[in-house]
Each structure stands twice: as structure tokens, then as C-alpha cells.
Chain A
């Protein structure tokens, strides 16, 4: 169990980041990570590979997907406008805030399977093979989802660039 602390503890910040970017709610994300770590403690001896990183992301991802499904059946829906401001960096420079807020809002508009692959590969630096393991799909599916996700995010951001000024006005009006 000592090796577990040594191997897993450094990964917790990345797990939190993935959870928050995926589910967007600060508290719900930390609950998911807690649940993930508790399961990892219990099943530590049963893991199949020496590298606990994809294994932990897989546990976390499955917990998040189950939560999405629960939310869907209960009809809970968080509109884009209600995005918790804490959902992304608080320490960001002021001029970056609008851009960061924007990219997070656009990310939130992606279907969650596309969002997941974009985060696992592009932010968490998982290999395509590890991302496939986490998502439980073949590598070919990872590649096609990644392509669709990048194109969709690009289109969303291109569309946003045109009315960036309007966005700023809207945000100010709300406060």
C-alpha cells in the first residue's frame, strides 16, 4: 500500500482536472475523484498493469459516465450560462479570463464522448492506446472521435471569435 501512495498521490491533481473539465461542477467533480480513489484503494491489488494512470482514469471516467446517465434520467440539465465560474482557472490573468471562459463553454457544448477524448489526449497526455483503454473503445474510435472533437471545437471557437465583443458585453451585463 506504500507504493500506492507513492504512485497514485501525484496523479490526484490531474484526476481532479479531468473530472472538473468533464462534469464542470466543482463539488461533484471532487466527489467523483474521492469515489475513484476509494475504489482504487480497495482494488489496488487487482489492477492489471504497472502503470496506474490509465487504470485510475478509467475508474474515474466510468464513474462520471454513470453520473451523466443518472442526470439524464432525472432530467437534470445545467445550461451553459449557469457554468460555475470556478469550473476553470481562478488565477488566470484578467485578459485571459474571457478566452478561457469561452473555450470552457465551447468544450461544454461537445458531446461528452468527444469532450473526454479531447481531455485525455490533449490535456492529460494519455497515449492513444491508453485513452482507448480508459474509454473502452478501439484505437480507431479514439482517432475518429478526436478528429470530430477537434473540428467541432474549432468551428465553435471560430464562430465565437466573430461576436467576441458581444460576449464581453453580455458577461458584464450579468454581473
Chain B
């Protein structure tokens, strides 16, 4: 018999039958001596079984046709190869519009603190959006918001782009010359990824939306009430603007 104290974790592992036999025997001996704890643990066990029995019939139902995996493998709805063509076609189409907004960019290109933020967001996009192994550090949105809010020392609101067809993949804290920034990543049904970078601003505490571009990516940056935002994606500024407006609107309702 070991002298290790019994923990609440042990008791739950006992309920889940996840203990080594030796430890399990120790828990059983403990429960025999502590009827109150034993009663609670027995109830947990019963309720675990109740839940299993209540849900068992779902797993026994015949699968609906929409969940035919063989058919999905045969004909994937979103084929990566056709996606590459779609991106190529999109780039070809946007070249025409590109000249237009590069010129406009000359009049509204981000400057000062906002320019730094735009560059940080573009760098984050280049490094993380192309990462297929671990593009984000945390996926759980609650944990994520808690984490970045702690690191940025201010409440951070998670932009919701689902209305525009982009789902949150997760995010991480990224280092910048101006301290930690929160990066959120989204993707749509075609696997196209967007990055939103946000951090407190030292200069340019309020700045109107400004567009920037470089290589295959474009971005829109702005600042409201001391917090800067930059949205970066593989498409032109015109498709990012409505999303940026949406993020800005949501952020104002903190």
C-alpha cells in the first residue's frame, strides 16, 4: 500500500476505470472506510452508466445516406487540386483590380504605428497560415480569449466571421516589437485562411482603415480607442473590407 494521498482525480479515474490495478485497490480500500465519499462516487458511476444507456441507441441507428464515407472519399466536395486552380484563377482575375488599389493604397497606406501593425499581421499570416501542422496554438475559443486577454492585459473580443463564411480555427499570442499581440485564424469551406492580428497601440491610437499589400497577400488595418487591428488574407482588399467593417463593428460592442 502506498502512502500517496487519495485525490479527487483518483476518484474520477476510478469511476472511469482508468487506474492501474494497484491504485484501484487502494481507492477501493479507501472507499470502504469512507462511506460518504463512496456514496458520491457510486452515484457518479450510476449516472455515467445512465448517460451511456440513454445515448447507446443513437450509435445503433442505421447511418443516413449523407454520411456515406466511401462516396465522400470517391468524390470529395472540396478537392484541394481544384482549390489550387480556383486560387490561380482568382489571382488572374484580381490583377486587373490590383493596379487600381495599389494607386489608392498610395493615398491611404498605413503609416506610423499602423504600418508596423500591418507588417506584423502580414508576417504572422505568412508564417502561420501556411502551416499545416500547427497553424494555431489553441483551438478552444474560451481558453483562447482568456489567454490572449491575460497576455494583452485588456479584454480581447474574438471576431466572429461566420456570417461571411469564415470559421475560427483558433489562435495564439505572437511577439511584436510593441509587445504581445493576439492572432486569430479563420478558414472557409475552400480552406482559404484569414488572419486577424490585434494589440494595444502606442501611437496611432485611432486610425482610419488603411489598405496594404505585398506579394500574394493583402490587408486592411485600423485602430479604435487604443487597440489596433489588422486583417490579412490571400485575396484583394475589396473582399477584405466588408470583413474588416464587420470586425470593427463587433469590437465596438465590447
B160 with A154: CB separation less than 8 A? no
Q: Give Cα A5–Cα B8 distance, bound, in whole angstroms.
A: 40
Specify which of B43, B53, B69, B143 is in contact with A12 (CB 8 Å cutoff). Answer: B69
Specify which of B53, B58, B79 is in contact with A20 (CB 8 Å cutoff). Answer: B58
Q: Tell me which residues from 71 to 116 in chain B have a Cβ below 8 Å from any Cβ of chain A.
A: 72-73, 76-80
Closest CB in chain B relative to A141 CB, distance in Å: 8
Question: Per-residue CB proximity of A67-108 to B under 8 Å, as 1/0?
Answer: 001100100000000000000111110001001100110010
Instruction: Answer yes or no: B254 CB below 8 A from chain A CBs.
Output: no
Question: Per-residue CB proximity of B123-156 to A under 8 Å, as 1/0?
Answer: 0000000001100001111110000000000000
Known: A30-B66, A65-B141. A103 touches B57 (CB 8 A): no
Residue tally, chain B, CB below 8 Å to A: 54
CB nearest neighbor in A for B16: A121
Q: Give Cα A150–Cα B77 distance, bound, in whole angstroms.
A: 40
A16 with B63: CB separation less than 8 A? yes
Chain A residues near B4 (CB, 8 Å)?
none
Instruction: Answer yes or no: B1 CB below 8 A from chain A CBs.
Output: no
CB nearest neighbor in A for B8: A147
Closest CB in chain A relative to B19 CB, distance in Å: 11
Chain A residues near B77 (CB, 8 Å)?
38
B58 with A16: CB separation less than 8 A? yes
Closest CB in chain A relative to B162 CB, distance in Å: 4
Known: A16-B58, A127-B18. A38 touches B50 (CB 8 A): no
Q: Give Cα A70–Cα B191 distance, bound, in whole angstroms.
A: 19
A128 with B18: CB separation less than 8 A? yes
Q: Tell me which residues from 13 to 69 in chain B have a Cβ below 8 Å from any Cβ of chain A.
A: 13, 15-16, 18, 40, 43-44, 47-48, 50-61, 63-64, 66-67, 69
Interface residues of chain B, those whose CB is within 8 Å of chain A, are 8-9, 12-13, 15-16, 18, 40, 43-44, 47-48, 50-61, 63-64, 66-67, 69-70, 72-73, 76-80, 132-133, 138-143, 158, 160, 162-163, 167-170, 191
Interface residues of chain A, those whose CB is within 8 Å of chain B, are 1, 4-5, 8-9, 12-14, 16-17, 20-21, 30-31, 33-34, 37-38, 41-42, 46, 48, 58, 62-63, 65-66, 69-70, 73, 88-92, 96, 99-100, 103-104, 107, 113, 118-119, 121-123, 127-128, 135-137, 141, 143, 146-147, 150, 153-154, 157
